[in-house]
Structure 1
Amino acid sequence: MAESATGAQGPVRLTSLAHGGGCGCKIAPGVLQQILAGAPASAPFASLMVGTETSDDAAVWRLNDEQALIATTDFFMPMVDDPRDFGRIAAANALSDVYAMGGRPILALAIVGMPINALPVETIRGILAGGSEICAEAGIPIAGGHSIDSVEPIYGLVALGLVHPDRVMTNRAARAGDELILGKALGVGVLSAAFKQGRLDAEGYAALVSSTTRLNTPGPDLAALDGVHAMTDVTGFGLLGHGLEMARGAGLTLRIDPLAPHLLPGAEALARDGVRTGASVRNWDSYGADVGGAEALEPWRRDLLSDPQTSGGLLVAVAPEAAAGVLSHLRSAGFEAARVGRFAEGPGRIVLAPGA
C-alpha cells in the first residue's frame, strides 16, 4: 500500500513521529479565534487588497492595473507514511490557496522541519521529491526554502501566484440566491484516521492519495466566469467550517443539504463504524452553535460534514444561472463536483436541510 522510512532500528512510520497529520493539525477554529482576538489589523497599505481582516486563503497585493500577487503558506505533519506521497499531498494543499483566490502559481519555497536523528536522509529526500513533483505538475519551480531540525516531521510550501486585480476571489462576496458548489468528495479525515488505525484498505488509500494530490487548477478559470462571486477551498475546518466563514463574511445564511456532498470510497462505512478525527470533534465544538438542523442527522454524517479535509475541494458561490457551467467545468476536469447548498437572506450561520 505504502512505503515507510527505514532507520537504524528498522522501519519507521512517518505518522508515528507526529501527534497529528494533514490539515487535521490545524488549531481548532474556536481556539484560533481566541488567539487572534484583539490582534492588530493589517496596516492601511493602499496596495494590500486582501490582508488579515478576513479568513481568506491568502494575502493579495496589487502590483499594477493588470497583476496582483497572491502570497500564502501552508505546512503540516504527515498523514501517510510514504515519503513521496506526504510531499505530494503537502505541496498540492499549499498550492490550493492560490487557485482558490483565482490565481495561477508562479513559484514556491519549501518549508522543511525534520527529526534528523529519527529519519534517514533518503526519506527526507523522498518528501522533497514528492513536493517538487507536484510543483512541476503545476508548472512552477521550488526556488528555495528553509529547513530546521524539529521534533516532528513538517513539510509545506510558501506559494506565490498572480491574478488580475479584477478577478481576485475572496470567501466573503457570496450573494443571496447563490448556489454553493463543492469540487471534491468529503472524507479525507476519516480515511486518514483509518489509515493510522490500520483499518484502511488499498482502495481507500488510493482514493485518499488521489483526492489530496489533485491540484485545484480550475480555480482561475472559474474566477473568470460571469456569475462566480466567491470562492475558497475546504481544508481543516471541514465543509461546515469553511461554509460558515463564507456565510459570516457575506452576512447571509447558508442552507446546506447534508445528503448532497459526494463521499470518498469507504468513508461512509468507516464513519458509520465510529472512525473520526479529533479535529472533527474540535471543529464541531467550535462552531456547532451556529449550525442549525444538526439534531436531525445521524452523528456519523455530522462528523463527515465537519471532517477536516486536506487539499480539499474548491467551494464556489455562484449565481443560479451560472451554476451548471461551474459544475460542467469541474466535472470535465475530472472533479466529483456537487451542488451542496444555497445562500439566503439571514444572519451569518448555517442551516442543514435535506434538499436545500
Structure 2
Amino acid sequence: MFAANQQDKPRLTSLSHGGGCGCKIAPGVLANLLKTAIPFAVPSELLVGTETADDAAVYQINDHQALIATTDFFMPIVDNPRHFGQIAATNAISDIYAMGGTPLMALAIVGMPINVLPHEDIAEILDGGREICAKAGIPVAGGHSIDSVEPIYGLAVIGIIDPKNLKKNATAKAGDVLVLGKPLGVGIYSAALKKEKLDLSGYEQMIANTTKLNTPGKKLAAITGVHAMTDVTGFGLLGHALEICKGSNVQGQINYADLKILPGVKELAQQGFITGASNRNWASYGADIELSTDLTPVDQAILTDPQTSGGLLVACDPAVLGEVLEIFAEEDFGDAAVIGQLSPQAEGRSFLRVI
C-alpha cells in the first residue's frame, strides 16, 4: 500500500483530527449555530450573502462588475506537504469558479505547529499553494499566519464577474438537468490513506482529482440556460444538491447508476474506509433524502462522502446540455455527466430522491 516517505518526520495527517473538507462542521450543527446571528441591514449591492449557503459572497460595484469574496481552509488530507498546499488552494479557488467568476488574487491563511512540523515542510505547503494560484493566473498577495496546534492552510480569494452572468445555488428551475463535473470518492480515499491502505494508483487518482481547477465555471456562466451552480465539497453530493433544491424551491432526483465514482472507491468503502463526516452529513440532512431500497450503506456513504475540491454541480435547461458538456470536455473534464433532474416542489417541501 502507498505511504509517503516521511522518514523521522511526523505524518501531516497524524497532526490533525480531520482532513480536507471533511473538517467542515456538519450542516445541521452549522445551521443551529447561525440561528442566533445578529440581523443587520443588507445593502442592495450585496447580491449574495448568507441566505442560501452559497459558495461565496458577491458585492456589486457597478453595472458591469461585481466582486466575489470567499475563504476556505482546512487540515491535511494527505501527508505530502506540497500536495496538501495544492489541494487546499485548488479547493479555495473553486468557489470563485462555482459562482461563474474569474479569480483575481488570493491571501494565504496559515496555522502551523511551528515547533513540531519541519520548517521546510511548511515552506513546501506554501509553495504548493502558490503553484496552483499561478495556474489560475493569480498572485498570493499576502495573508496571515499563526502558531497553532494542528496544521491549517487555505486561501481567501477575490474574484470578479459581470452580474448578469452570476450563477447562484438557489436559482435552478424545475425541468433542469443536473450535471456533475468530477467523479466522487475523495473522502473514502483519504480515509484509506490515513490508515495506510491506499495504493499508489489510488493516491495518484486522488491528487489528480483534487488539484484540478474547476475552470469550466467561467465559460458556463455565460450560458443563459445554465441556471445554477455550486461545487460539491464537505457536505457530499446529497448535501450540496439538497441546497440547490431548497434554495430553488424544487425537488430533485439523482440517478445513482449515472454517477462517476473514482476507481476502487466502492471496494474501499466495503472494507470500512468511510469518514466520520459522511455519517455526520447523513444525520444532518437524511430526513430530506429518499433512498431507493436497492441502495446499500456503501452507496449511502459514497453519496454523503465529503469531497475536497470536488466537481461543479450544474443545473441547466436540457436545451443547452450539449453546450455545457462540450465546455466540460474542452476544459479536460471527461468525467462530467448528467446525474439527475429537477422537478416542481411537491407538497410545499423540497427533497431529494435517489434511485
TM over 0.5: yes
Question: Following TM superposition, by how much is the alpha carbon of 1:325 offset from its aligned partner in structure 2, in angstroms?
Answer: 1.5
Q: What's the CA shift for 1:97? A: 0.2
Q: For 2:312, which of 308, 311, 314 is the aligned residue? A: 314
Question: Aligned partners of 1:82, 1:292: CA distance in 2, in Å?
Answer: 39
The equivalent residue for 1:27 is 25
**DSSP-derived class of the 1:303 partner:** helix
Alignment-derived partner of residue 87 in structure 1: 85
Shift of 1:225: 1.2
1:344 counterpart = 2:343:
yes
User: Partner letter of residue 343 of structure 2?
Assistant: A
The answer (yes or no) to whether the contact 2:75–2:153 under 8 Å persists in 1 is: yes
Q: 2:149 aligns with which of 145, 148, 151?
A: 151
Q: Deviations for 1:194-230, whole angstroms, at most 9, x for unmatched residues?
A: 0001110000000001000000011010010131000
Give the alignment's TM-score, normalised by structure 2. Answer: 0.96
RMSD: 1.2
Give unmatched runs, 5+ long, in structure 2: none
Runs of 4+ in 1 over 6 A off after TM superposition: none
| Partner amino acid, structure 1, of 2:102 | R
Q: Matched residues in 1 for 2:226 and 2:293: separation?
A: 32
> Conserved in 2, the CA contact under 8 Å of 1:2 and 1:82?
no
Q: Contact 1:4/1:13 (CA < 8 Å) preserved in 2?
A: no
Q: Which runs of structure 2 are paired with 1:128-147 in the superposition (5 Å)?
A: 128-147=126-145
Cα separation, partners in 2 of 1:350 and 1:42, compared to 1, 3 Å: farther
Q: Using the TM superposition, give the Cα deviation of residue 272 of structure 1 relative to its aligned residue in structure 2, in angstroms.
A: 2.2
Residues 70 and 163 in structure 1, CA contact (< 8 A), matched pair in contact too: yes
For 1:72 and 1:295, the matched residues in 2 are separated by 39
In the alignment, what sits opposite 1:65? 63
| Paired residues for 1:107-186 under 5 Å | 107-186=105-184
Distance (whole Å) between structure 2 residues aligned to residue 136 and residue 239 of structure 1: 29
Query: How far apart are 1:43 and its partner, in Å?
Result: 2.5
Q: Which 5+ residue runs of structure 1 have no aligned equivalent?
A: none
Indicate how the Cα distance of structure 1 residues 294 and 150 shifts in structure 2: closer, same or farther if over 3 A, else same. Answer: farther
The answer on whether the counterparts of 1:14 and 1:82 sit within 8 Å (CA) in structure 2 is yes
Distance 1:220 1:161 in 2: 11
Letter of the structure 2 residue corresponding to residue 314 of structure 1: L
Q: Residues 284 and 306 of structure 1 are in contact (CA less than 8 Å); yes or no, is this contact kept in structure 2?
A: yes
Percent of aligned pairs with the same amino acid? 57
Matches within 5 A, 1:255-334: 255-334=253-332
For 1:324, give the aligned amino acid: G
- Alpha-carbon distance in 2 for matches of 1:247, 1:293: 16
Cα distance between partner residues in 2 of 1:76 and 1:207: 21
Structure 1 contact 5–14 (Cα < 8 Å) conserved: no
For each residue in 1:269-325, what CA deviation from the matched residue of structure 2 results, as whole angstroms up to 9, or x when unmatched? Answer: 111222211000000011111001244311101110000000000000000111121
Residues 3 and 196 in structure 2, CA contact (< 8 A), matched pair in contact too: no
Residues 114-123 or 320-329, more deviating? 320-329
From 220, 227, 242, the equivalent of 2:218 is 220
How many residues are aligned here? 350
Give SS of 1:111's match. strand
Alignment of 1:93-112 (within 5 A): 93-112=91-110
Distance 1:15 1:155, change over 3 A: same
CA distance in 2, matches of 1:70, 1:161: 5
Query: Aligned partners of 2:182, 2:237: CA distance in 1, in Å?
Result: 11
